[in-house]
A and B are shown apart, each in its own frame.
Chain A
């Protein structure tokens, strides 16, 4: 099963360089996922990112979206929106992270500014596990420029 999916992902990455995605004035998006293994040695954490072979609950994943402006003109107001897959929980960034939505993408903000229904008629502060979407805004991408955005999540 896994081999199959890894192969699928690889073929999808290969597709992004195809002309269909790289038309004039277009931006290509390439999604990728890696498993984030932390090895602690002499008190120092080292992260190893590998293509996921065996994913089980509790594993940490890094979802990355690479973008590239394949056109000859700059693009602006570039917004990448990523709905979180079912089965993973967002891991909050230490510093400024992406914009967060906890209501399916209707409203956006910093996680600590958001609230969700507490199931008892009131609201409570939103937590990592409430995140439904993440979003990044890049004001301008110059022709030929590329970059990537990523978020971390735990397999529930």
Chain B
């Protein structure tokens, strides 16, 4: 044996120039027996003889590997929440499940979203369907994933207060093998499928993927101006002069502002002039009715409904008389 072992080493050294071996997706299944038997035929005087060698066996252990990828090619628009999609792939050679964590605090983020839900996209529609898609508690594990199999994972993220329009934020989903993780080569004895040993692979048993969301919010700005017309044809703020107030609302941002109201109070020392309320030059009755505008001695209120960012400016005017 000793002699042939030295032969072996020389054979191995001779093959050092061999090109690296092909790469396989997940490899032969954990628990597989690799058995090698050689046979030989030869002639010796009497005739041909066949002999068999012994059989050597090696058991394939479980390799723990995982890959995670964000599936949203571009940031997902969030008006209040965004649903991000990720794939979690078992790139090991045995069934495994993976603990999931979603981290909204990625360096460079304009804001940190609030992770509301992590779920398996059971019906694979890219949307979180409560009651259909199986939720995974924070730090909880996926169902078992077969070797080379993937699960589509959804992460529902809410915009925080303070996020502004067009800001983006990344969310990192990390999947960690439920069997174990650590330095490549770490062995978890007997923890593999069927009781074989499990060995941590090059992924270190954990992997992360990124997706991002972009805030889509509306921004409203108001500009108020006043024009004075005194009883003498001038513009002096004297008693009896009429002041026309103009409030211009402009709408920016990529989102839609819902239920917009423009309100103002009648300044002290002035009196609202009945039936002078108007929106974009069209009169609005003072009474609370279908036209959305109301006015009284205390103030005005004009409902603009839902207004998309980028819409044309809205101009509200009303008149008061200086007492």
Please list the residues of chain A having a beta carbon within 8 angstroms of any beta carbon in chain B.
1-2, 5, 8-9, 12-13, 15-16, 21, 25-34, 36, 38, 45, 47, 49, 52, 54-58, 60-67, 71, 73-89, 91-95, 127-129, 141, 146-148, 150, 152, 154-156
Query: Is A29 touching B22 in the complex (CB atoms < 8 A)?
Result: no
Query: Is B93 touching A56 in the complex (CB atoms < 8 A)?
Result: yes
Query: Is A45 touching B16 in the complex (CB atoms < 8 A)?
Result: yes
Query: Is B57 touching A57 in the complex (CB atoms < 8 A)?
Result: no
**A156 cross-chain contacts in B, Cβ below 8 A:** 24, 27-28
Q: A73-B45, A155-B34 are in contact. Are A47 and B16 (CB under 8 A)?
A: yes
CA A62 to CA B52, docked complex, whole Å = 19
**B45 cross-chain contacts in A, Cβ below 8 A:** 25, 73
CA A57 to CA B57, docked complex, whole Å = 15
Q: For the complex, is B161 an interface residue (Cβ under 8 Å from A)?
A: no
CA A76 to CA B45, docked complex, whole Å = 9
> Contact check: which of B15, B28, B49, B59 meets A1 at CB < 8 Å?
B59
CA A75 to CA B43, docked complex, whole Å = 6
CA A142 to CA B18, docked complex, whole Å = 32
Chain B interface residue count, CB cutoff 8 Å, equals 59
Distance (Å) between the CB of A25 and the closest chain B CB? 5
Q: Quick one: CB contact mask for B95-131 with A, threshold 8 Å, 1 for yes?
A: 0000000000000000000000000000000000000
> Contact check: which of B51, B93, B201 meets A28 at CB < 8 Å?
B51
CA A35 to CA B190, docked complex, whole Å = 20
**B44 cross-chain contacts in A, Cβ below 8 A:** 25, 71, 73-76
Q: A56-B201, A74-B44, A75-B44 are in contact. Are A63 and B36 (CB under 8 A)?
A: yes
Residue of B4, B9, B14, B19 contacting most chain A CB atoms (<10 Å): B4
Query: Is B27 touching A13 in the complex (CB atoms < 8 A)?
Result: no
Q: For the complex, is B13 an interface residue (Cβ under 8 Å from A)?
A: yes
